[in-house]
Chains A and B, each alone.
Chain A
Amino acid sequence: MKLGFVRTLLLIAALLVACPLFAAEQKSFKIGVITELSGDLVTGGNITKRGYDLWAQEVNAKGGIDIKGTKYPVKLVYADAQSNPAAGAAAAERLITQEKVDFILGPYSSGVTLAVAPVVDKYKIPMITGSAESPLIWRNKFKYTFGTIPPINFTGATSIKTLLEMKPTPKSIAIIGSNDAFSKATAEAYKGAAEAAKLKIVKFSIVPSGQDMTPLLSAVRSMKPDIIAFGGHDEEHVKFVKALRQIGYTPKALLMHCGITDKAFTDAVGKDGDQIFGTTCWTGTAKTKSKILWPNAAAYAAASQKAFGNPGDYTQGGCSAAGIAFQVALQKIGAKPGMDEAMRAKLVKALEEVDVQTFYGRVKFATAGEYYHANVGLDPLTVQIQKGKIMTVGPKASVEAAAQYPMKEWKSR
């Protein structure tokens, strides 16, 4: 049913392997992790946990972070934000003042990040979130907060561009988004891109979360848009696809976002998931090359598959990449565990200077502008589910398979 036990066992095994290193009385970097381990966002929070765990596992398997010849293992201390900003802020305070962590790996959601960021700024503890990416975070220009995933308004336009290259050229689009921060931002990013591309937007609707969208989709069907774009969360993705199937309407293209790259989605919708497009900034087959921890995306996906039975999606990857960013910055300044305020300020500076190729792609944080401290090094990708696998279909430089357009009717699958 669930791979939680397997994962825990593997983690224990990995830690046992790393144990002798601890026995050697070496200091280790104490890293606080704030994420949603309970509450509404537990699904996403656990994805981030996998990403952070996998990074720590891999680093410790190699002995730890190599600082000027000495290897320091990493120790993750988790605190649950309970999908609630107040708990997130309390978690930050606890990790900083009681656990005395060196730095922090951040939450899944933007809401919690927005409550935590002022706290880490106050105590001057650097934080990288491997998941939260709302433009609202970066606009506030928090000095000590960074993010490895670019905001959706940075990546959204790509898929519209890719779809416009299909033949026959799509002329119309319907855009629907769930009324939560991320999904709404996704819908608005698609809207902006559609307007710029002079696509006819037949409908733009934001709907309450978790509701049955059948009536709306019936209305959309009557307008016969070529593309239907949807932003939502995992439960809504499943319902959306089922609703389209039930009313018997197959658009020429169905565009969602990165949520479709999670294996759980294809498990839930089966064949109906085929040919759905998504926007992401990383897949397990991306042609990345790196000298740090995992030589390429495939190696990471394999490691994740082995540890969790899941090759990992872009959120999980972003979290592991966050760990790598810290790794690189720490090595640059020669930091040791138990950093003082001055050292941590140096760490922030080092993070701003990070420009490294990882399994995830290029990690480079912007130091000015509306994407302040967000990762602008990645190139957005358009993906499509083909026979249950995620294939990159755009932009041209990263194509792995030709996009299948238009979609095959539900009935004939």
Chain B
Amino acid sequence: MELLPQALADGVMLGGIYITIAIAFSLTYGVMHVIDFAVGEWIMFGAFTGYYLNKWTGLDPFLFLPVIFVAYFGVGYLIQPVIHRVLSGTKGNPFLMGLVFTFGLAIMFKGLALTVFGYYSNSIPSMFSEGAFNFDVFGAAVTIPTVRLVGLAYALAITAVLHYMLKKTNFGLGVRALAQHKDAAGLMGVNSRRTGSYVYGIYVGISAMTGVLLGCILSIGAQMGNEYTIFAFFVVVLAGMGYLAGVPWAALLLGLVQSIFMIYFNPSHTLLAVFVILYLILLISPRGLFGKGV
């Protein structure tokens, strides 16, 4: 029992990581109704960009976050029209088309990354990598590594910013209108093309920043994208697709499940538990935990 506070703390930190992967992804789905298979690859590219910037300049990677956001926002902004075209075709099944298109992108990006960056794993150093917060909870020792706390803070900050943007700005109003009903929104004066581009740009920018963060907490590698894509999907589906408010809860749930399982049960069954729980929740509540999925 003395491990419980630590288990919970670890689970929350892990949940924080899952939030960073999934929150922007959920937004994109909500607005554009596309499951971006390349989310893991955007994270990977951001991570490598952070790695090289740090290597060349020696500056802490967290200082580059704004730069990386802007750069990848641009990339996303430019790519979005292509995705839009794929999704608005009258032929075929748009959802499937979007999915396969981004799947193709993901494969291409992975190949590019392997070619340019090689196949070894690496790590991004940071001033936050040292140190941890140690405290006592009812006599049980709890350690929270600084860098993971930063990750959680980042996750919550991004969530808060997105929430504010969606609820309190005109742009956000347009985004929500677009998510709800594209044509009606257009009639109300929302430029769906431009708004969609902004949203996708924001999503790619956030994902890239997340990559830098993950490179500091975990590791980077050209093939790292796949695992993150899977978890992004899972968190978002569990939260209810397009339902941003559900993401932190779903992420926390998955993080806690993993953490508790690893500590209290047979660790080799951790992923099995995660997948089974995900599957069961979907069966019981088909539109996500809160039933508010699109």
Kindly state whether residue A397 has any CB partner on chain B within 8 Å: no
B219: chain A residues at CB < 8 Å are 235, 238-239, 242, 268
A309: chain B residues at CB < 8 Å are none
The segment from B22-30, B90-98, B256-264 found at the interface with A is: B256-264
**Residue among A208, A212, A216, A234 facing the most chain B CB atoms (10 A cut-off):** A212
Kindly state whether residue B125 has any CB partner on chain A within 8 Å: yes
Kindly state whether residue B10 has any CB partner on chain A within 8 Å: yes
Cα distance A234–B120 in the bound complex, in angstroms:
7
Cα distance A221–B81 in the bound complex, in angstroms:
51
B13: chain A residues at CB < 8 Å are 214
Q: Is the CB of A239 within 8 A of B218?
A: yes
Kindly state whether residue B187 has any CB partner on chain A within 8 Å: no
A208: chain B residues at CB < 8 Å are 267-268, 270-271
Q: Is the CB of A212 within 8 A of B120?
A: no
The size bracket of the interface on A is 35 or more
Q: Is the CB of A40 within 8 A of B223?
A: yes
Kindly state whether residue B117 has any CB partner on chain A within 8 Å: yes
Given contacts A206-B268, A210-B227, A245-B129, contact A238 B10 (CB under 8 A): no
Q: Is the CB of B267 within 8 A of A206?
A: yes
Cα distance A248–B223 in the bound complex, in angstroms:
28
Cα distance A222–B4 in the bound complex, in angstroms:
12
Nearest-neighbour CB distance to chain A for B271, whole angstroms, equals 4
Q: Is the CB of B125 within 8 A of A270?
A: yes
Cα distance A221–B125 in the bound complex, in angstroms:
24
Kindly state whether residue A342 has any CB partner on chain B within 8 Å: no
Nearest-neighbour CB distance to chain B for A410, whole angstroms, equals 8
Kindly state whether residue A196 has any CB partner on chain B within 8 Å: no
Kindly state whether residue A181 has any CB partner on chain B within 8 Å: no
Interface residues as binary, A206-239 with B (CB distance below 8 Å gives 1, 0 otherwise): 1110111111101101100000000000110111
Kindly state whether residue B248 has any CB partner on chain A within 8 Å: no
Q: Which single residue of chain B is at the shortest CB-CB distance from A264?
A: B120
A222: chain B residues at CB < 8 Å are 2-3, 6, 141
Kindly state whether residue A4 has any CB partner on chain B within 8 Å: yes
Q: Is the CB of B118 within 8 A of A219?
A: no
Q: Which single residue of chain A is at the shortest CB-CB distance from B116?
A: A1
When the two chains form the complex, which single residue of A212, A221, A237, A268 contacts B14, counting CB atoms closer than 8 Å? A212
Given contacts A215-B7, A411-B130, contact A207 B270 (CB under 8 A): yes
Kindly state whether residue B147 has any CB partner on chain A within 8 Å: yes
B224: chain A residues at CB < 8 Å are 235
Q: Is the CB of A215 within 8 A of B118?
A: no
Kindly state whether residue B132 has any CB partner on chain A within 8 Å: yes
A211: chain B residues at CB < 8 Å are 258, 270-271
Q: Which single residue of chain B is at the shortest CB-CB distance from A233?
A: B121
Nearest-neighbour CB distance to chain A for B260, whole angstroms, equals 8
Kindly state whether residue B119 has any CB partner on chain A within 8 Å: yes
**Residue among B10, B116, B141, B258 facing the most chain A CB atoms (10 A cut-off):** B10
Kindly state whether residue A205 has any CB partner on chain B within 8 Å: yes
A235: chain B residues at CB < 8 Å are 121, 219, 221, 224
Q: Is the CB of A248 within 8 A of B10?
A: no
A264: chain B residues at CB < 8 Å are 120-122
Q: Which single residue of chain B is at the shortest CB-CB distance from A249?
A: B143
**Residue among A46, A208, A237 facing the most chain B CB atoms (10 A cut-off):** A208
Q: Which of A29-49 contact B (CB under 8 A)?
A: 40, 42-43, 46
Cα distance A242–B3 in the bound complex, in angstroms:
21
B119: chain A residues at CB < 8 Å are 42-43, 46
Nearest-neighbour CB distance to chain A for B240, whole angstroms, equals 25
Nearest-neighbour CB distance to chain A for B189, whole angstroms, equals 46
Kindly state whether residue B33 has any CB partner on chain A within 8 Å: no
Q: Is the CB of A1 within 8 A of B118?
A: yes
Nearest-neighbour CB distance to chain A for B45, whole angstroms, equals 14
Given contacts A206-B267, A239-B219, A411-B130, contact A215 B121 (CB under 8 A): no
Q: Is the CB of B145 within 8 A of A247?
A: yes
Cα distance A270–B123 in the bound complex, in angstroms:
10
Kindly state whether residue A84 has any CB partner on chain B within 8 Å: no
Kindly state whether residue A25 has any CB partner on chain B within 8 Å: no
Q: Is the CB of A205 within 8 A of B227?
A: no
Kindly state whether residue B134 has any CB partner on chain A within 8 Å: yes
**Residue among B2, B143, B262 facing the most chain A CB atoms (10 A cut-off):** B262
B259: chain A residues at CB < 8 Å are 215
B262: chain A residues at CB < 8 Å are 207, 213, 215-216, 219
Q: Is the CB of A248 within 8 A of B122?
A: no
Kindly state whether residue B288 has any CB partner on chain A within 8 Å: no
The residues of B with any CB-CB pair to A shorter than 8 Å are 2-3, 6-7, 10-11, 13-14, 17, 114, 116-123, 125, 129-132, 134, 141, 143, 145, 147-148, 217-219, 221, 223-224, 227, 258-260, 262-263, 266-268, 270-271
- Chosen A-B contacts, 17 in total, with CB atoms closer than 8 Å, are A1-B117, A4-B118, A42-B119, A207-B267, A207-B270, A208-B270, A211-B270, A212-B258, A213-B262, A214-B10, A214-B13, A215-B259, A219-B3, A219-B6, A221-B143, A222-B6, A246-B145
Besides A267-B120, A268-B122, A411-B131, 4 new A-B residue pairs in contact (Cβ under 8 A), listed by A number: A42-B114, A179-B268, A238-B123, A267-B122
The residues of A with any CB-CB pair to B shorter than 8 Å are 1-2, 4, 40, 42-43, 46, 179, 205-208, 210-216, 218-219, 221-222, 234-235, 237-239, 242, 245-248, 264, 267-270, 411
Nearest 10 A-B pairs (CB), nearest first? A246-B145, A215-B259, A235-B121, A215-B10, A264-B120, A215-B262, A208-B271, A2-B118, A206-B268, A238-B219
